[in-house]
Amino acid sequence: MTNISVSRILCDFLVLVLCAIPLLVFHEFVKPYKRGFYCDDESIRYPYRPSTVTRQMLIVVGILIPTTLIFITEIFRYSVWEKKCSYAFKSYEIKNRSISRLIVRLYNYLGFFFLGVCFNQIMVDIAKYTIGRHRPHFMDVCKPNIGYQNCPQDHSYIDNFVCTGNDKYLIHESQLSFYSGHSAFSFYGAWYTSLYLQARLYKPLHSKILLPVIQFSLFGGASFVAYSRISNYKHHWSDVLVGMIMGSAIGIINAIFFTRVFEHREIPPCDRKLLSDEIEMEEGRPTCHGQSLRNINNQENIKGSQKNTHISQDSYTKERSHYVSSKTPLISPYDHDRHHLIDHRIITPPVISPRKIDI
């Protein structure tokens, strides 16, 4: 029984809140770097257009889809794949009260997902506010007092301008082009969720194409979000590309190194006989694969005759009797090196592994 400390849970939530504080500071108190421009720069003279995928839509869909998939996956594993194997997994308790491992798993995978969301957005805001690149619709929104209507012929760099536009929020946002937060967030969610599903649903499902279709849909949706930022004149293509790369990198690092999704995927053979403490004597001592000792001895005799071994019958009987009479525990059901076990079962009696599978 593994005891989960309440203080640890509170500490996790505190760390998550502390990671979210910089996001509030950036959006409420920090002003973007004021970058100048060339008035004949056509890349910042596109018209302003509303977003196809708004920030609110992205947050709702980008969080709802991964959360739903994680919920469904864990419930499926818990109630279907592991229904007969619950004894092989660790048990958990909080203040002497038992808690389902399903809750522990959801806490783990969703907690790391939201931690990655904070990491991803912090990286986005650091780039946006320190670089201050103009969006493609910057001139249409800012309407600078210099270079908007009449462009000087000397191709001079203008940095002492004042925006004359009326919408202060749009003027603020027009200086936050690099890099695309929409692209970074959508690809972060796609990578984290896809790697999670690949690790947790590693056994064949009813349809072999179901998992690839889900993963492809995640990346298809992320690509649509990213490309829409270019067609809506919200970002330059390089902003979107860097956002896709950064979001992908954070999603991969979080899933593999922080969450370690591929280290908690095993499901043991669901056979309680493999874990029984009672040792059947002559007719039926089970091995790790459910074979009786007599069957294995027959296999050994056949194998020995084929190899022309010269092991005496008395020696073999002595070794066999010593092995049967010993009360060594059964081998671990998680060791799948079958041939090695068959070749060394008498000389090196197997032992059971006391370790149970983590979440």
Residues tagged active-site = 182, 235
- Dist. CA 223–CA 217, nearest whole Å: 10
* The residue type at 179: Y
- Find the farthest-apart pair of alpha carbons in the chain and give their distance in angstroms, rounded: 107
Burial (0-12, 13-18, 19+ Cβ within 10 Å), 62: buried
Cβ contact 1:104 at 8 Å: no
Whether 117 and 185 have beta carbons less than 8 Å apart is answered as yes
Q: Which two tokens stand for residue 217?
A: 């849909």
- Amino acid identity of residue 77, one-letter, is R
Give every strand in the sheet of 92-94, ordered side by side. 2-3, 92-94, 97-99
How distant is the alpha carbon of residue 301 from its chain centre?
50
- Identify whether the C-beta of residue 330 lies closer than 8 Å to the C-beta of residue 276: yes
Contact partners, residue 241, CB within 8 Å, separation at least 6: none
CB-neighbour burial class of residue 101 (10 A; exposed 0-12, middle 13-18, buried 19+)? buried
Closest alpha carbon to 195 in 121, 254, 129, 243: 254
